[in-house]
Chains A and B, each alone.
Chain A
Amino acid sequence: MENDNAGGLSAAELKDLRCVAGMMVPASTEYAVPGADDAAIFADIVNSLGRDLGDVRRALSTLSSLAGGAFAEQDVSRRETAAAAFRERGGAEVAALSRAVLQCYYRDDRVVRSLGLEPRPPFPKGHTLEQGDWSLLDPVRARPKMWRDAP
């Protein structure tokens, strides 16, 4: 199989992966977000396969088998039927493919901003947490002891 070394995937696998990523999370004008097949997001997905590479390759192979040919080359209806059957099967391949796409999609700056979140790592700014109303504890404080004495 031809291999262009992009994340260890062949050109055909890359095409299939981009296709299924776009099906999983399509672009949306309503929410003003790109799809997971966006060039920058897809590049992140491919570069981040890491420990999931083997399972993702097997997932793409399974998708093509279910679709009756190269996944990305099939018509929409066939792809959707194959994708639904694939998800229904569950297991490590499905988990790996979803994880590979979603972990990159939901850290893209544009996507994170669309959720009303700041596109930054937690450290060093951290976050603010409200103290809350500690008088909520009053009825619990009033309870008798609950622990059992142990001889």
Chain B
Amino acid sequence: MNETVDVLIIGAGASGAAVAWSLADTRMRILCLEQGDWMKPTDYPTNGRDWEARLYSDFATSPNRRARPADYPINDDNSPIKVVNFNGVGGSTIMYTAHYPRLHPSDFRVRTLDGVADDWPVDYATLEPFFAENERMTGVSGLAGDPAYPPKQPPMPPLPLGKSGARFANAMNQLGWHWWPSDTAVATVEYEGRAPCINLGHCTPGCAQGAKASTDITYWPAAIRAGVELRTRCRVREITVNEHGMASGAIYYDADGVEKFQPAEVVVMACNGVGTPRLLLNSVSGCFPGGLANSSGLVGKNLMFHPYAQVFGYVEEPLDSNRAPPLCLWSMEFYETDPSRDFVRGYAFQFGRGIGPVTEAIFSDADGRLPWGKDHHRVYRKLVGRRIGLSAICEDLPEEHNRVTLDPVLKDGHGIPAPKVDYTLSSNSLRMMDHGIARAKEVLAAAGATNVGVHSPILNGGWHLLGTARMGKDPSRSVVNEWGRSHDVKNLFIVDGSIFVTSGGVNPTCTIQALALYIADSMKQRLATLFD
């Protein structure tokens, strides 16, 4: 049997890496179990001529399509938005665009300010030092002075505007609307041993240059140097409990498929908003017949995705296309609630530079924009390199019927029940998306784009998996308390996106990691009374 560890972290992605690094200075014995493996930069698609095609095979964003041994299937048939993720050391930071905004102060007080959903039990001011620490550890590029945020100072200069960014900037100025260079987890100068971005452009499926901040090259090297053990290709099946109702460890399958038990004094869940409820619901015992930490009945409920309304068009001159990091700017013009609109809360715009030649052909073929036959070449040459687009990333309010459960039939390669997602778009979200589409069309018109198309919601757009084990002070209305500890199991912590109370309207990774650092710090402050 494995020796008992002080802290067992499950999942080596965005939050697991951050909490491991932060806890390392306690000198406790810390182990992380990760179902995937280390990634090799030489394996990333941008090394080969098939770099775009691999987004449809071993680097597909959908785990169902990708189907690597590290992946587990997800039944998302009953959802208009499909789950996307990546499993491996680094988790979905291996496969994200690295767009890295913080949540705003108002996002933590939605009930107080707007009368919807619930306030968070923490606020922006509490998290501010952890945002800053995370941005330093991650290596974030950006520009101070954005009027949409309280003052902050990204450690590196922003990505260049490029042709696409400048065109959007001119359009937004023409409309009098806010825009700003995005905070991005991409190194623009040499940073802590990382090489700067050289515009490989195909950032999402892994950065061969190492400029994009995935946690396998940020937090993990530091955590391992500090003594944390990371054990890969170990898939956890369930969290076990002892006769006192405390977590006692985890049962997992090792790289050879052999069932093992790992005892632990503290268990930290960092498996994302789908993986964490899956594991909790699969951890059934006499003490916890409805799943671990689920006395509220809220484990798996309140799933939030961020519906994306994407609008794009084509301009006459070739722009940056795929030859730079895909996202360059954001706009918070429509972020805060405006009572004159027919929806509450709001959305951010994120602006895309363009897409590569294969992707353009596939997308335009699917949309019926690109004909087969003799006219194919003429039409294609008016499209390739000329696409610009923007997406409204809409705040998704929590609704209990949007949920993750265990599929009664589908199982992963180890026989563990797969997660099943049931999700519908709310009327508030649909109105918000319509508003975003209309405004985006105005932006594209101002940018001189024609031949406009809309994808709403983006089908494979379930990047952000939030809310399924929400935090709160009331044990009947939340799964973990204000510092991430389970209300029911006092040595069980959750640090991933499942603890979000509301989603905000921006990419969540920056906030997920800041929260993980905050929870780790809270644990360190309370070591003597951690289980009280």
A interface with B by C-beta (< 8 Å) = 23-26, 28, 30-31, 33, 48, 50-52, 80, 83, 87, 95, 98-99, 102-107, 112, 115, 117, 119-134, 136-137, 139-141, 143-151
Contacts and interface: CB of A to CB of B under 8 A. Distances in A.
Interface in B154-181: 159-163, 165-166, 169-170, 172-173, 176, 178-181
B160 A83 contact: no
A25 B112 contact: no
The prevalent SS among residues of B at the interface is loop
Contact of B148 (A125, A134, A146, A150): A146
A31 B176 CA distance: 42
Q: How large is the interface on B (under 10, 10 to 19, 20 to 34, 35 or more residues)?
A: 35 or more
Nearest to A44: B50
Contact of A24 (B105, B145, B372): B372
A100 to B, nearest CB: 9
B358 interface: yes
B170 A150 contact: no
Given A99-B362, A147-B336, A28 B160 contact: no
11 contacts: A23-B372, A24-B372, A26-B373, A31-B381, A98-B365, A98-B366, A106-B357, A119-B49, A126-B198, A132-B166, A147-B336
A111 to B, nearest CB: 8
A102 B124 contact: no
A103 B376 CA distance: 15
B71 to A, nearest CB: 13
Given A115-B357, A143-B178, A51 B56 contact: yes
Given A141-B145, A147-B149, A124 B374 contact: no
Contact of B377 (A30, A107, A127): A30
A68 B426 CA distance: 45
A129 B160 contact: yes
B324 A127 contact: yes
Contacts of A83: 372
5 smallest CB-CB distances across A and B, nearest first, come from A132-B161, A126-B198, A127-B323, A122-B200, A150-B109
B381 A115 contact: yes
Contact of A146 (B60, B145, B332): B332
B57 A51 contact: yes
Contacts of A99: 56, 362
Contacts of A50: 57
Contacts of B112: 150-151
B194 interface: no
Interface string B322-349: 1110000000100110000000000000
B160 A132 contact: yes
Nearest to A33: B377
Nearest to B366: A95
Contacts of A145: 147
